[in-house]
Amino acid sequence: VSFKVKPQLEEKEGKTFDVFSAVEFKTQVVAGTNYFIKVHVGNDEFMHLRVFRSLPHENKPLSLHSYQSSKTKHDELAFF
């Protein structure tokens, strides 16, 4: 998931992340699946991502739906 979403986030943020390592995730089943992922992006910086995977028959790529920056390692990963 990370390698497919990283370029989408980098484009939205206008920067490149040398570190991009998922450390926690949650899922939410909707008409597809929402993944809420805590990602370490270097130093003490973390981001929370909401990634959508459509239903298999729709054959669409993973999509970065939204994200929250300026998170810490200890911030709770919650649905957003």
Return averaged pLDDT per consecutive 10 residues of the chain, 80 residues in all.
Answer: 81 91 86 93 93 90 92 92
pLDDT at residue 31, as a whole number:
87
The domain ranges of the chain are 5-72
**Pairing label, strands 45-53, 63-71:** antiparallel
Beta bridge partners of 64: 51
Nearest to 54 by CA among 35, 38, 39: 35
Class for the domain spanning 5-72: alpha beta
pLDDT at residue 2, as a whole number:
60
